[in-house]
Structure 1
């Protein structure tokens, strides 16, 4: 049962100000004075809500990994948005994953999802963007970017097309990715996982271990490798991509091995240095997340967690006003670390100048992030069976 409390309980949380010196690029900034936070529950009774989006009418739309879409209406009512998910492939990290609303949602009612799906035996998967140089053989499952039309009363979603296919996913669902972001220019950014397959991060033909940039029709958009939707490579497991307001810079957050979750500033064709193929046919995770010794020109992270990793699935830029010392900071969620991390960036966006943590061990594993229309931060929990959408804002 889903519920949205009529009188949500509010908890004031004082941030622990400080810097995560381990793994910072550039000088370590002094500890920041941070405001207290007000946290309330927007919706409860969810099961692993992977992502959350905000529609122009104020409705929140989330998707549980098992395949259910849930709408939370401005007046407080919640409802299941019925959809045919008979093709969905759900196991471990794979299932219904990232969501993004079309920039013209008010008129076209289009929602995009990134989801693992079962495929027909023996078939090759051909994406609408055209075949890659080496199409993947059918393995029984694949990750697709799917377009849905949501009806006006939020009661049902109708699948309209497969926007992009050929994103690989293994039978165990490990390192499936798959983050999805609609950019202000109407294009889509897709973060993918490397499937724990040694050759995928450095491959220029396979879509695993990459950040992809496509049009809503599925064609490669700006900055991609010729003939592919690949914008950057050398990644391990990217589940979040965000465009910085005012600059157009694109950042991705990815989960590290036993150390160094990374925040990366993306460059067209950039290689971010993950190469776990040190031994033939063995997925060797003892390699560095960024390894310039084996990947010449590998681009270093803007921020990294150090040891141990905290498992970082999502990022979101805070507004440039209303958040005090955190104005414009990057909010990063953590699953294993069970916290929020706020990262302040330098003016050129290439260095970290300060970090602050919040909500540690308060709500369990944190996953999806999205700014609401009032500038508050929506956060989904990822504990399974009793999950919530939280609203986080500076305390008044």
Structure 2
């Protein structure tokens, strides 16, 4: 598998470093947008401050979680309801924690289940940790709330809750929990929550074929050795979940998530400490997975989605990743399990966190402090 390192400096003249099977790096010129397609950001909803997650109801209305603990319903470009009844009472806003992702059940029209991740103060210890709940929407209230998973123990640290949710084609629910700032203990300990991606049945039960069922390790765990995965998406061509995660100073990654695999954090990394010192033993090691792509310097990747609609000719099957740090969307040209090029979209709109393809085929994203936008193709 080819690996690609993208040098994402502030200048547009940054080059792409592609590492081939022979391990030798070669430089290519900055990539132009795929084909003749260009896009612009069109604001569709105002009044959202930190929109963490987006989900679309069957009628096209939008549900948006805000980190502060709010849940909004938007229709026709306007916020039509702020849903307060049924929001978990143990939700704690702390640093990066708060009301986080939202995802509809694949059979939502039949069962009405909506899934949420949030920072929960319930359980052992002070502070909070990531929880997964499901509920139903009746009018302007969440009802029938069920707690499906609660990470333990709590921590007063305010970072690395992870928290993206995605369903695969078999109806399994995947979600991420970051290392909570405890990198030296949690990610490589398979018996403790944190620094992991999990897989559950839609009702919160454990799939019998999870990789650590009946073995040493958490039954719900699917992969480990992660830092802070804030983006996950199902590859429509392979049916496999891809995830991105924050590195420290450099070393943000895109990974293909396979059962039981160790993704290396913090034993191997392409990043360094924020102070500029090194911490990792190496960038590669036997038994630890290499990323499909890493960024240096970091872009602070957040939400991500694969393009499946025909609204963006030539982009079908490509991956879009939101950048918090540089306020753009990274368009990654995907061929098989390789990323072969990268371009930047809509730079300067604001810190982009959530990104989803809507039922109308357009790509929607949140810009912090500014609302919800969609990507609209324009004439080149």
What's the secondary structure of 1:174's corresponding residue? Answer: coil
1:322 aligns with 2:311: yes
1:22 and 1:268 map into 2 onto residues whose CA distance is 29
1:146 aligns with 2:133: yes
- The alpha-carbon deviation at position 102 of structure 1 amounts to 1.0
1:389 and 1:271 map into 2 onto residues whose CA distance is 35
2:144 and 2:39 map into 1 onto residues whose CA distance is 39
Q: Relative to structure 1, is the Cα distance of residues 43 and 318 closer, same or farther in structure 2, using a 3 angstrom cutoff? A: same
Are 1:275 and 1:291, in contact at CA under 8 Å, matched by a contact in 2? Answer: no
Q: Deviations over 1:183-228 (max 9, x none)?
A: 2322211011101111111011112101111112212334432251
2:250 and 2:281 map into 1 onto residues whose CA distance is 8
- The alpha-carbon deviation at position 332 of structure 1 amounts to 0.2
- The alpha-carbon deviation at position 109 of structure 1 amounts to 1.9
1:59 aligns with 2:49: no
Aligned to 2:239: 248
- The alpha-carbon deviation at position 37 of structure 1 amounts to 0.5
Aligned to 1:73: 75
What's the secondary structure of 1:106's corresponding residue? Answer: helix
My pick for the range that moved more, 195-204 or 165-174, is: 165-174
1:86 aligns with 2:77: no
1:173 aligns with 2:161: no
Aligned to 1:394: 377
Aligned to 2:329: 340
Match of 1:299 among 270, 281, 289: 289
1:81 and 1:185 map into 2 onto residues whose CA distance is 31
What's the secondary structure of 2:244's corresponding residue? Answer: strand
Q: Deviations over 1:72-114 (max 9, x none)?
A: 1247452112233321111110011111111121132211111
Q: Which runs of 5+ in 1 are unaligned?
A: 1-15, 120-124, 126-136
Are 1:147 and 1:162, in contact at CA under 8 Å, matched by a contact in 2? Answer: yes
Are 2:233 and 2:305, in contact at CA under 8 Å, matched by a contact in 1? Answer: yes
What's the secondary structure of 2:109's corresponding residue? Answer: helix
Aligned to 1:128: none
Aligned to 1:272: 263
Aligned to 2:351: 365
1:365 and 1:283 map into 2 onto residues whose CA distance is 20
1:39 aligns with 2:41: yes
Match of 2:176 among 175, 186, 191: 191
1:109-188 to structure 2, matched below 5 A, reads: 109-119=112-122, 125=123, 137-151=124-138, 153=139, 155-188=140-173
Are 1:372 and 1:378, in contact at CA under 8 Å, matched by a contact in 2? Answer: yes
Q: Relative to structure 1, is the Cα distance of residues 62 and 21 closer, same or farther in structure 2, using a 3 angstrom cutoff? A: same
Q: Deviations over 1:313-343 (max 9, x none)?
A: 1110012633233232100001012111011
Q: Which runs of 5+ in 2 are unaligned?
A: 1-10
- TM-score using structure 1 length: 0.81
Kindly tell me the number of residue pairs found equivalent between the two proteins.
Answer: 351
Are 1:23 and 1:305, in contact at CA under 8 Å, matched by a contact in 2? Answer: no
1:381 and 1:56 map into 2 onto residues whose CA distance is 24
Aligned to 2:16: 21
2:189 and 2:351 map into 1 onto residues whose CA distance is 32
Q: Relative to structure 1, is the Cα distance of residues 215 and 392 closer, same or farther in structure 2, using a 3 angstrom cutoff? A: same
